[in-house]
Amino acid sequence: MIDTSAFVHYLSAQPGYGGQIVHVEHIPHRDAEYAELEQPLHQSLDRFLREDKLLPLYTHQAEAINYARQGMNIMVATSSASGKTLCYNIPVMESVLTEPSSCALYLFPTKALAQDQLRTLRDYPHLAPEAATFDGDTPQAERAGIRKSARVLLTNPDMLHVGILPNHQSWSRLLRHLKYVVVDEAHIYRGVFGSHVACVLRRLRRLCNFYGSSPRFICCSATIANPGEHAERLVGLPFRVVASDGSPYGGKEFVFWNPPIIDEAKSVRRSANSEAANLFAELVNSDIRTLTFARTRRLTELIYNYTRHRLAEIGSAQAKKIKAYRAGYLPKERRQIEKELFSGELTGVVATTALELGIDIGDLEATVLAGYPGSIASTWQQAGRSGRSGDKSISFLIGVDNPLDQYFMRHPDSFFGKSVENALVNPDNPYILRAHLLCAAWESPLGSEEVFGSTFEREREGLEEEGLLRERRGKWYLSPAVAYPAQNINIRSTSGENFAIVDTSTNSLLETVEACVAFFQIHPGAIYLHQGESYLVEELDLPSRTAYAKLTSANYYTQTKELTDLHITRVIKHKNCRQTRVYLGEVEVTTTVVGFKKKAQFTEEVIGEEPLDLPPQHFPTVALWFDLPARVAAGLDKGQLDFAGGLHAVEHAAIAILPLFALCDRNDIGGVSTPLHPDTGKAQIFIYDAYPGGIGIAEKGFDLVEQLWQTTLRAIKECPCQEGCPSCIQSPKCGNNNKPLDKKAAQRLLEGLLLR
């Protein structure tokens, strides 16, 4: 077992240590709390669970099972590794034992999680013969048998959406006898993906009703602020929440690690990616089993390369015992890495959030988070991947040079003392709902569908006007021109279209990327990283949606620059806040990628910039915006401060801070600021959802705008720089090269907004 205090002391004594440890939170050991069920378990089930040392039950497990037996829908929101799977496996096993025809459907966000849960179920004699996975990897020869006889079906929302619901006649046995629907890792279903899944679950409920069943839902989630509300928005039914965790905990040292400032004048810090690689190398070189999380595919590959380089420098044999793991790798490669990590063949892995979820990868002792993951819930979920065996563990959160990370580095109490955020979904998003109404009409003609909510009739009428639905005798049928609509909808994005990346040396497919990010990742001249190798994108063919790339030895990576315009189409609501007015409304956003920067690996120095000529992208969404008090603007002129620079700085900082209040990523949000907006004739700052139709982020910002202003002001005031830096008002994505920016003006503007 790792001696966490000794390892922290060891790090602080290393030659490269420069005061990076800004806080160590000692999270204490916690004993288990147990409870009895209101009614005893089936005798054979009780015997099996006792033999497997799964009894007695923790308090939250007993509470959830009691509610399930009473016929309630349940949301279990407890910590990582708290035994949530028993909360649904026991009710399902009881129904299989006592009701000969009853069935259950398990939904997991990834195929890997479904496979992992199937391995668990194979240890349960009551479920093993009845359970099967059904996803894109299921052999064709096995599919008919699964449809015919499986009583516990494990799948993912994608397959439910595109394979099961549109072919419901083949699944009529399952749907007719469905007793339970399990939605695991429910906190993952947020934003665009969650909004799609909410519509898929409504389609499932609709077909269950058609076949005469009314299944109960059991959802499991990491800790979020609104577990009941989130479950109800996802499924569209009332839920009972189980949130009091009775599981034991081994304790953890949680270290906040802030890279040292290397340029005092500009307040520039050492690269968080280099710090992550150095920490990862120290941990694995000490034979401490470690998982390092990076926020993007590109950074996963960068940190992996940096760490290999570092371990080779010190002559460590561990260089061969680390790997990278991320989406985009072939399933066979990912399964092999999971197996090697579980067995101990690997000492460490650097991964994207693909390993944040509950796949069993064995007993890890440490986790390194290369930057705040975007939410407190995700931070705890990632940190919780170490110490799952009940032993003590250590986690590091490395502060990136941005306002929110640096805010937490200065105020760790705001992290450890703050409740987790709200998970947001918007099943009423017209772009998402309309797509699923077409899918539902394919499955069965539409009628008066209460299951789809209050906007159903409006969106159905819109589809009818477009000629996609036809009314006959009070029912709405799919137009003959629309064939199998589900196959054209990617439920993990608002666009179902992908771009392919082709390796020109072998003429083979490397990966696919979503259309919404293609211009940012695979533009001409982009460096795309795949399995530790750098590829230079030579051509982007827009008509065929194909990028052509070749292997390169380039020692830099690329980052796009873009310009954004915004047009107000409708004000939804407004309110007076302090001495100004705040608005929420529908807007049209136009984004144009205008160029890219080349940034050196390791140092991240900008070594070149090139222009791009790509077509603009337009999308409608939801934004919040607010007026600026006239007297504050006048005061800036008197103080010879830059009004436009102040607006721009407030926009950058507020966008960076907003994820503190909504369960979202910085990249889910966009912004525009201007001293004179043509639609209002006034100075404005806009913050908008970066997805067509909106997903609820701007609305959450509208509700909490005073808190957003207060926290943004605090982040700017407390940053030690003089003129503004990446830790407070600069943005790496700014299309204007972070010009103009005025830190003092931003501070005055926020103080003016908060005056009573």
CATH code of the domain occupying 430-488: 1.10.10
**For 34-242, which CATH superfamily applies?**
P-loop containing nucleotide triphosphate hydrolases (3.40.50.300)
Q: What's the pLDDT tens digit per position in 521-550?
A: 999 999 987 766 789 999 999 999 999 999
**Sequence-ordered strand ranges (E) for 578-701:** 580-600, 606-611, 617-626, 669-677, 682-689
Cβ-based neighbour number of residue 508 at 10 Å: 8
Q: Pull the structure tokens for residue 734.
A: 């700014």
Residue-level pLDDT at 212: 97
**C-beta separation of 356 from 293 below 8 A:** yes
Q: How far apart are the first and last CA of the chain?
A: 55
Residue-level pLDDT at 574: 97
**C-beta separation of 688 from 566 below 8 A:** yes
Cβ-based neighbour number of residue 564 at 10 Å: 19
pTM: 0.81
Residue-level pLDDT at 419: 66
Average pLDDT over residues 105-122: 88
Q: What's the mean per-residue pLDDT of the chain?
A: 90
Residue-level pLDDT at 646: 96
Residue-level pLDDT at 140: 93
Average pLDDT over residues 220-248: 93
Q: Which fold, 4-28+249-416?
A: Rossmann fold (3.40.50)
pLDDT at residue 313 tops 60: yes
Q: Pull the structure tokens for residue 321.
A: 């015992």
Q: What's the pLDDT tens digit per position in 700-735?
A: 999 999 999 999 999 999 998 888 988 899 987 777
- If one compares 633 and 366, the residue with the highest pLDDT of the two is 366
pLDDT over 90, % of the chain = 64
Residue-level pLDDT at 389: 66
Q: Which amino acid is at 181?
A: V
Separation between Cα atoms, residue 525 and residue 669, nearest integer Å? 26
Residue written as token pair 């790997």: 323
Residue written as token pair 């926290």: 711
DSSP 662: B
Q: Which residues contact 624 (CB under 8 A, 6 or more apart)?
A: 582, 583, 584, 686, 687, 688, 698, 699, 701, 702, 705
Q: Which residues contact 43 (CB under 8 A, 6 or more apart)?
A: none
pLDDT at residue 99 tops 60: yes
Q: Pull the structure tokens for residue 214.
A: 């009314």
Q: Is 572 exposed, middle or buried (0-12, 13-18, 19+ CB in 10 A)?
A: middle
Which uninterrupted H or E stretch holds 753? helix 743-753
Buried/exposed code over 354-377 (b: 16+ C-beta within 10 A; e: otherwise): bbbbbbebebbbbbbbbbbbbbbb
Q: What are 477's strand-pairing partners?
A: 470
**C-beta separation of 344 from 321 below 8 A:** no
Cβ-based neighbour number of residue 309 at 10 Å: 14
Domain boundaries, the chain: 4-28+249-416, 34-242, 430-488, 498-554, 563-591+616-753
Q: Pull the structure tokens for residue 207.
A: 């077909």
Cβ-based neighbour number of residue 571 at 10 Å: 12
Answer positive or negative: Cα dihedral of 258, 263, 268, 274.
negative
- Domain pair 34-242 / 430-488, same fold: no
Distances (CA, A) of 206 to 211, 437, 615: 9, 11, 41
Coil vs helix vs strand at 162 = helix
